[in-house]
Amino acid sequence: MNHLIRFFLVIALASAIILYGISSLNSSQGYSGGNTLTVYNWGDYIDEDLIKQFEKKTGIKVIYETFDSNEAMMTKIEQGGTNYDVAIPSEYTIDKMKQDNLLIPLDHSKLPNLKNIDQRFMDLPFDPENKYSVPYFWGTVGIVYNPKMLNGKKITSWNDLWNPDLKNQILLIDGAREVMGMGLNSLGYSLNDTNKKHLLEAKAKLDGLTPNVKAIVGDEIKMLMANEEASIGLVWSGDASEIMSENEDLDYVVPKEGSNLWFDNMVIPKTAKNIDAAHKFINFMLDPKVAAKNTEYVGYSTPNKQALKHLPKEVVEDERFYPSPELTKKLEVYKNLGKKNLAYYNELFLQFKMHKK
Amino acid sequence: MENKLTRNLYKVPYLLWILLFVIIPIALVLYYSFFDIEGHFSLGNYQKFFTPVYLQMTLSSFWYAFLITAISLIIAYPTALLLTKTKHKQLWLLLIIVPSWINLLLKAYAFLGIFGTYGISNSFLKVIGIGQQQILFTDFSFVFVSVYIFIPFMILPIFNSLNELNPTLVDAAKDLGASKWTTFRRVIFPLTIDGVKSGCQVTFIPALSLFMLTRLIAGNRVITLGTAIEQHFLVTQDWGMGSTIAVFLIIIMVLIMLLTNTRKRGV
């Protein structure tokens, strides 16, 4: 009995010490109430020097928290009990958040730097007139491949992947829309197609790809591609740039048939406590020099036209990450297809996964 | 009067637990299974379960769970038998249990490295002249890693029942002229069958709904009912279909429990 009591006392004491430690650490960094701003972003998706720069400039303390999926972020905001002032969801999530009234409209008069954003990336279907969101980074879905392992062969189109020589060489990202989209694009259909006949056709075409598919994986794809576990991977351009910085042999291509164009955007969720500071932060991130510094750190493509002037030429002129206008025309943004169509996409994707070699 | 009151008080934690964490969750799963993706009441999910896609998935879940359980048993029984005969049996047992203290995700990631094209196991195969093989993302690697993870749970109950076995019974069998094999078949195994049963239950039932390993180790080349539930809840947000699959899993598990428990000890 005495042992048991001592056991619980030790745990209680340890917890008390940790709690005290946390609160004293927080207060020493000036986080105790007052003028603070809570930013909710993807992991490793901002140059942290910029946060310090923002704090110095405005005197607002920034609390920075991270998430690893749109769904997790949305659930946390939906449930409340948090006070995120700025969040950075992807475009299809913004559509959902709008429908569920989770966003606060932006006051454009407080965002003079909005003029720096390239007009191509403004007023997009998921958020007309940018009422709720400002683009943060953008990118594509494409193929990362290892020319060394392919004996110098180049990949330029989705249909190259169906080559019988590539047996067991392809890794796919575990996303229904990305993989189904690849099937649709290879047949010349739209990524947002909801015609059942077209979708079944795409699924049948994907079944033909199974002998070439080594695995369908999640975030591990970055590690696996960098370790040369396979020679070809279906990935987002952001992941591709990360993989390529780890293994310089690899190359990235946006297939010529077209592909997906995605955006991560800054929004003010309804949990915001400091709306004024949130606007200041968004405006700060839109500053050309700040955006350029952030782009150099993160490695994704910036929608900030003025920032391009502050970036090295080889970055801006890299067509893999800043595709030419002709190719950009073929890129499509995912539309929110509604639950029912999305369920059908997922059903077909599940069947594709079950298709044996 | 007072006695009755205190006795009822003792029941409170148990009843609360059962209500909050057993009855209500199962009722909710059952309730959600009757709604389609747009929130209308329907039996469509149950109809959908009886289509080739889900039946095939059920079949393959069963097959892999069976393989995992059978292989675990074949390895675990001799191991447990050996352990009871060693000098420091508690220490050896502890060494087998220690890996189960490590997070499952970490172990799975470790196997990604070990089984990879340039991993240790392939270097070994090269050295002994077999040459490079694809190990990761195959049925073999999936079953291997699952067995590795479940084996402590199989060994423990078997070890306990072997440990409780009265050694004089074995001596008696020997004195009466039974061979080693007959002693094992007619005395040791029947007396430890309860340990084997509970070992099989704690392996087979979780193995039916494995999901994380199917992606990490099998690269989604193995699809089990657990994978489908995960996808329906997290990606599609079709809670109805996810719940329907869960209902079938619960029914299957209850059936297995009944089948393995009602049989009397056979001699």
CA distances to A181, A193, A344, A348, B50 from A201, rounded to whole Å, are 12, 12, 13, 11, 24
Of A214, A224, A350, the CB nearest to B228: A350
User: Does the pLDDT value for residue B122 go beyond 70?
Assistant: yes
User: pLDDT over 70 for what percent of chain B?
Assistant: 97
Contact A351 B228 (CB under 8 A): no
Domain A35-137+263-316 has CATH 3.30.930.10: no
Give the confidence band of B261 by pLDDT, cuts at 50, 70, 90: confident
CA distance A341 to chain B (A): 10
Q: Region A215-224: what's the mean pLDDT?
A: 90
Q: How far is B17 from chain A, CA to nearest CA, in Å?
A: 22
Convert the pLDDT of each residue in B207-232 to its tens digit. 988 888 998 999 988 899 998 998 88
Q: How far is B86 from chain A (nearest CA, A)?
A: 31
What does the block give as tokens for A123?
A: 């007023």
Q: ipTM score here?
A: 0.86
Q: Which of A80, A6, A92 is nearest to A335 (CA)?
A: A92
List for chain A the helix, strand, coil content (%; round to 5). 50, 15, 35
Concatenated DSSP letters of B137-195: TSHHHHHHHHHHHHHHHHHHHHHHHHHHS-HHHHHHHHHTT--HHHHIIIIIHHHTHHH
Map out the domains of chain A as residue ranges.
35-137+263-316, 139-261+323-354
pLDDT band at A27 (very low <50, low <70, confident <90, very high): low
| C-beta of residue B161 within 8 angstroms of C-beta of residue B81 | no
**What pLDDT is stored for residue B6 in this prediction?**
84
Task: Pick the most confident of A256-270, A306-320, B204-218, B233-247.
Answer: A256-270
Judging contacts by C-beta atoms under 8 Å, the chain B residues touching residue A71 are 234-235
Q: What DSSP line would sit under A255-298, residue for residue?
A: -TT--BEEEEEEE-BTT-S-HHHHHHHHHHHTSHHHHHHHHHHH
Check for a shared fold between A35-137+263-316 and A139-261+323-354. yes
pLDDT tens-digit map of B174-186: 999 989 899 999 9
- Cα separation of A53 and A60, whole Å? 10
Distances (CA, A) of B223 to A171, A347, B241: 17, 13, 16
- Say what the pLDDT of residue A75 is: 80
The stretch A200-225 carries a mean pLDDT of 93
Which chain B residue shows the shortest CA-CA distance from A171?
Answer: B219
B205: pLDDT strictly greater than 60 = yes
Interface contact flag, B116 A340, Cβ < 8 Å:
no
Instruction: Please give the radius of gyration of chain B, using alpha carbons only, rounded to the nearest integer.
Output: 23
What number is the average pLDDT over the span A23-32? 62
pLDDT tens figures, A147-192 = 999 988 889 999 999 999 999 999 999 888 999 999 999 999 999 9
Of B220, B228, B236, the CB nearest to A343: B236
Dihedral angle, C-alpha A64, A69, A74, A79, nearest 10 °: -80
Question: How many angstroms separate the CA atoms of B23 and A260, rounded?
Answer: 45
* Tally of residues, chain A: 357
Confidence of residue B2 (pLDDT cuts 50, 70, 90): low
The CATH code of domain A139-261+323-354 reads: 3.40.190.10
